[in-house]
Structure 1
Amino acid sequence: MPPVAPMLAKAVPTIPPGASYEPKWDGFRSVVFRDGDEIEIGSRNEKAMTRYFPELARAFLAELPERCVVDGEIVIATAGGLDFEALQQRIHPAVSRVNMLAEATPASFIAFDLLALGDEDLTGRPFAERRARLEEALGSARPPVHVTPATLDVDLARQWFAEFEGAGLDGVVAKPLAGTYQPDKRVMFKIKHTRTADCVVAGYRVHKSGPDAIGSLLLGLYNDQGTLASVGVIGAFPMARRKELFTELQPLVTDFEGHPWNWAASPEASAGGRTPRSGEGSRWNAGKDLSFTPLRPERVVEVRYEHMEGDRFRHMGQFVRWRPDRTPESCTYEQLEVPISFDLDDIVPGLRR
């Protein structure tokens, strides 16, 4: 019975031998429950997401076994690869907009584990058995329900790791063949791409603990037009360092007049309309304040990131070091590694809708 916390993965630097390997999908982790005509889609944090994906709820009634619990990922596939931003837009309070987006940007479900079938609880069975049962139970499922590819060949897994990023995937997951399903435990392994980039620090947000500590630093890169575009944030600092940074950055504090991110004066300057504007809210937390303190864009920081989604970092970056030897103008998109292009339909046939 819902809710069930998904089993998690811990990051490792290389692909381990002797496991079952799958592409790491970049979407919403979901545990799907079906009991006859009842469907429940549970999120990673065990909250119900059924209302946001009515097209998937209908598909689950048609394509899943009559009584089952399936672990997987909700994704939106486009000609350019996985579109996480479009997926985020699907979380909306208005029923009319949810229904409109279900038609305009329909989602797909990638199944990769089977927790229960009929009256049988499979969580105590080894993964090798659960995978075989999953393939049998969903072998005839039609889009938008898919079973993720899997292999026991570590060399093929390395090939997937190198190639599939070009379709928007996130790396590779390795699952011990004898492993049981352990909710909320990091007993799988994930191998993700990591890279570094030199970025301009152009603003900050204060920490929730008080106004004299840095919560996050806002990062920018110069595009082909010479405009400083917002690419993401870094924010994992010890508390003592957050307070030191606040003091260090005060000489750079400026106002929005003349700042490259003066959104109120030039809304079209935001990179694709997805950069944080002063006072803008968050769809994930309506009470979250996304306003920021502008800084003169003079300091350069090297950050570690996994991959890009469009012109922004997909996940929060990690601080590496300050780069006083770099000029802000040298921090351009040209330094970023561009993955080779790869078609999603070559990974899962019929995934693009």
Structure 2
Amino acid sequence: MDFLRSLKIGASCIPWRFLEWLGSTDGKAKIQYVVEKAQWAIHWEGQAIRNSLEKMYPGIMDVTPLPNRIMGASKVVHFGSQYMWESWARHLTAKNYYVASFFHGKPEDSPATARHIDHFLNLSPKLSKIVVSCTLVYDRLRKLGVNESKLEKIPIGVDTEVFRPATTEKRFQIRQEIGVSDDTVVIGTFQKDGQGWGRGNMPKYIKGPDVFLSVVEKLAREFPLHIMLTGPARGYIKNGLEAARIPYTHRYLETPQELANLYSALDFYLITSREEGGPKGLMESMASGIPVVSTAVGMAPDLIEDRVNGFMVDAEDVDGLAESALDLRSLSGTALSKMTSIARKNVAVCDVTNVAVQHWEKVYQPILDEAK
């Protein structure tokens, strides 16, 4: 299967290499950001960086899900997905400079992940820069032998103008649309946690959907719950919630603006992952004034100070997550407001404009200067 997929990718490049040989180009943009076709986190991240850079350097970046169609030389080609880079790397022209984002993964996650990391490391000499989002992954790649001069730590971005605390009226409106009462505790989990892009009945255990179900089953004994889901491949979670008779709403949204509306309905956001790059929901929640209960994964240790601007426990600690959620629910209105206010201030470092500037200053500009 991998051989046939590689053959198909290679074949898709041939017409465009031929056009390039004839002198064709794909435009003037010197930076190409490669995204997944699915309208989700990686696609939105690339588009947000492009939109921010467009205001500062018009025409400097294009976003594409089709790396085979990139033509020209001395361009920066940034793969927003480490898996896309792994698939395409051997088929790309040597005339350009390549960057890849490496969000998550450790060899002990699974044999498949271990093979992926080995392959990624073997391909790393082709990369000018590797962008990571958190200290945990930065340190991990450094220990695996990646030269620090090639690594850049830049957080995943959040548009703090789109994701912002909702008014009381907005919160009431969204909760009415969902159909939940005032005394119902609405918990959000918006990251994809099933395998593939279909129903997702097979879980991605690194995302901790099994842990999530164990935690909410405990919480359901304490107060009425409603679980808010977004994103693709949520079948495993939905099946588990139905078995536990915990009500939920699942919406698959097409824009960050639509997603921001759903945060208005939440009482808190729950992250139960064993491994993460962000997740993006962490920053979106903090920016939206929604308290977070999280495992110590991805960007959480970089952003959360336990019981100051959120709650954080070790991965797989079901009891710790449940107890943190109960402690959160026991906070006074004043204490909760203070916690979420601190969180919004702390997450400002992840504002998408700041993130785009960091990509320009740490990654793109140095490579383009070298290419001159």
Q: TM (normalized to structure 1)?
A: 0.31
Question: Which of the two has greater strand per residue?
Answer: 1
Q: TM (normalized to structure 2)?
A: 0.30
Question: Which of the two has greater helix per residue?
Answer: 2
